[in-house]
Structure 1
Amino acid sequence: MVFRSIWQGLQNLGLTGAPGAEAAGMSDEELKSLAMQNPEHTRNLIAIEKARHAWKVQVALIAGGVLLVALAMTAWTLVSLHAAGHLKLPWPKPATVVATLMSTTLITAVTALLRRRRKERRAAATAPANQAQNGAQGDQNQVGAP
């Protein structure tokens, strides 16, 4: 679920936030002919290509970071399972493995819930400031005073 929301965010970033989107309606041939006609267009085209490259590098870094975190979580789970398997407990090893998996899942769920609540509190804390700024614009449904 977390991977899905991150992936959707990356896709949305790719669809809406790509630098150089203003030239997206033109083909490469049109852009090249425009660049040959005017040096200003050439500079703009170079800036657009640099921005596209920087954006691709940023997306690759984000994806790599997500992959590293997923790999670290998997490795930690495997280490925990291995360590739990060597404990001398009064119940069978499969029960230890299941309990370890359930506890790591519970810890992950609680952490995600706490992060979501913290994010909601931060959004609620900044919302009154935004409402005060937007209040000066007036409400469309507000009845004017006589």
Structure 2
Amino acid sequence: MKRRTFLATATGVGAGALAGCVGSSLPASDYDVGMQHHSFQPADVEVSVGETVVWGNSGSRGHTVTAYGDGIPDGATYFASGDFESEEAARNAYRNNPGSSAGGNIAPGETYEHTFEVPGTYAYVCIPHEPQGMDGTVTVVE
């Protein structure tokens, strides 16, 4: 094989292998909050009562969306990817099933959504990337 043919082939194979590492093919129009590397984009959003926020994993790593139990308004419905009823349940499930949908993991290219019915500020986190500061807020207004 000639050197140029070999280099062209190797470059094509290398680019194909890396394609899955760069990010998902999830279009930005499919979500309100993107999840990339160690951040929510944007980290803080404002919506009206009754609106739904969609989080989309536009990155190449798994993420969670997990409300802080003491970070939601009184009377509000708790939310977490995996549909857990409390922060403790979400953390335990992730600890026992890391990287799995059973642990609340949102894989690259997937979404999670929640409708907010009570006004106030909701604080949430990505469990596996919490040490890197991956957290955010949703402010719900009348």
The reply to whether TM is greater than 0.5 is no
TM-score with structure 2 setting the length: 0.23
Greater fraction helix: 1
Greater fraction strand: 2
- Larger RCO: Structure 1 or Structure 2 (Cα < 8 Å, ≥ 6 residues apart)? 2
- Determine which structure has more spread, i.e. the larger CA radius of gyration: 1
